[in-house]
Every structure is written in C-alpha cells, then in structure tokens.
Amino acid sequence: MNTVTCDLTVSLDGYVAGPNQTPEEPLGEGGEELHRWMFEEPEANAEAVKGILESGAYIMGRNMFAGPGAGPWAPDWRGWWGEEPPYHAPVFVLTHHPRPPLKMEGGTTFHFVADGIESALAQARNAAGDRNIAVAGGAETAAQFLSAGIIDELRLHIAPIILGGGARLLDGVGKLKLEPTETRGTGLVTHIRYRVTR
C-alpha cells in the first residue's frame, strides 16, 4: 500500500498562504516569503525538496493549479509552472468543473477529478504503483485529506514569518495525533516530519 504524504510550507502562525489571495498574487500578501528557503538556501534544503518531488502521483486542489476563483476553466490556462512542471508524474486536480487531461513536458499530466477526494486518491494509487502519493495542497485540500484520516505523514516546512491571516492549514481538521519523527532546519526554515494518527 502506498504511503500518502503531504508537504506544506507554513508560517509560524499556521498559514500556507497570506491574506487577500488574487490571481495576480495567488499566495496572498506576504505568501511568497514562505518559500524563500527553496530558492535562497537550495543546497542546505536539497533533501527536503527531493522529498517533495519524489512521489509517483500527486493530488492538489483547483486553487493550487489555477489560483483563487471559481467557475469554468479559462481555456488556455496550463498551471503556474510553465511547460515543464516539477512533478514529472500524474497530478490529480480536484475541481467542480471537469476538463480533459492536460499533458505537459517532462512526464507531468494533469487529470481533473470532479467526483471527490476518494476518487482522486483511487486514481492516484493506480497511477503511482508502489511509489508514494503526495497531497500537494493547498490548505483546504490538505485539511480535507487530514480530516478524512488519509494522510500518513505530514511534512511541515515552517518559515519564521508571521502572516497574520490567509489560508490556515489545520482549521477544522478535528483531533489528530502528530508524532514527530524527524526535525532539522536552516536559517529560513524548520523541517518537521510527523506520523499522523487519529
């Protein structure tokens, strides 16, 4: 059986995106600061980045793929990552608006799932083979999977910033037991791996 993981960068006050998310500022006010560790300390954090990108399939919410908003898809929207997204594996995007699969360069194909998280998980399990499945985000999607008891390992990358509002990760997930199994860090981030149980 695959392990279901979830990697998210959060602020010290528990937000994965800042307030006032817009299509022009999809991570909200101050949200870009969360991810400085990936770009300013790449060598020091190489193992954490490798862990994020080693899964056999990914699941994400519509907002992570297209930014805040609802309604039908913009016909030419192909995601935030350019023609070669970093996943190099099937990605299952939760949505209320089905669309045909979107094949990108480098082995990433986005599949759009309109019938819920259980369907997305079943499709991801089938696609991943014996490799892990990653719930890539955003906050609402991760919270749905945590609430359903589906995530086995939560990997938080805690940035030493305060956002003061935005998309909070753990609101409404119910009672979880998070057992830390590894902690390490740099000046811009603390990486903590948790085994998740109910």
- Is 140 among the domain residues? yes
Q: Give residue-wise pLDDT tens across range 10-42.
A: 999 999 999 999 888 989 999 999 999 999 999
pLDDT at residue 82, as a whole number? 93
H or E, element range at 112:
strand 109-113
Q: How far is CA 69 from CA 108, 137, 188, in A?
A: 23, 16, 30
Domains: count for the chain: 1
- In this prediction, the residues of the chain whose per-residue pLDDT falls under 70 are none
User: pTM to 2 decimals?
Assistant: 0.95
Check which CATH number belongs to the domain holding 148 and give it: 3.40.430.10
